[in-house]
């Protein structure tokens, strides 16, 4: 009886231990870039002007407008939003990450939290 109980406990520990040690999967950011759905840890625009709309930008994820005069709208930011080169309009929800207008004359608005950087008008 004891031998069967010990075997059962050993078998259970082999199943439970890997589950306890696993880390949760990283959530991916989902955006529409010029009307096309893009999901990943890095969401890029194009070398030209883009319209990028995202829900939340998760920690470790980046939304990058690249070149052109981009229009970027997101929900809460825990990752990074980069306007890229060109004159960009960037509007985000609460910002616990980094919002960077980058090069050009950029108009950035964050709902609350960290102030954007490299933005000429307003914060």
pLDDT in tens, 67-121: 999 999 999 999 999 999 999 999 999 999 999 999 999 999 999 999 999 999 8
Helices (H) and strands (E) in the chain, counts: 1, 10
The count of other CB atoms within 10 Å of the CB of residue 123 is 11
Adjacent-strand bridge partners of 32: 37, 53
φ/ψ of residue 6, rounded to 5: -65, -45
pLDDT in tens, 27-54: 899 999 999 999 999 999 999 999 999 9
| 0.85 exceeded by pTM | no
CA distance 54 to 99: 14
**Pairing verdict, β 36-40 and 42-44:** unpaired
Asked whether the predicted pLDDT for residue 64 surpasses 70, the reply is yes
Please state, for a pLDDT cut of 90, what percent of the chain lies above it. 75
CA distance 52 to 100: 15
């Amino acid at each position: 009886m004891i031998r069967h109980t010990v075997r059962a406990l050993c078998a259970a520990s082999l199943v439970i231990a890997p589950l306890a040690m696993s880390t949760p999967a990283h959530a991916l950011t989902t955006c529409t870039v010029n009307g096309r759905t893009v999901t990943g840890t890095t969401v890029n625009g194009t070398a030209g002007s883009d319209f990028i709309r995202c829900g939340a930008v998760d920690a470790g994820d980046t939304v990058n407008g690249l070149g052109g005069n981009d229009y970027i709208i997101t929900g809460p930011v825990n990752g990074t939003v980069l306007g890229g080169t060109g004159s960009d309009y960037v509007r985000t929800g609460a910002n616990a990450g980094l919002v960077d207008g980058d090069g050009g004359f950029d108009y950035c608005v964050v709902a609350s939290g960290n102030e954007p950087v490299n933005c000429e008008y307003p914060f």
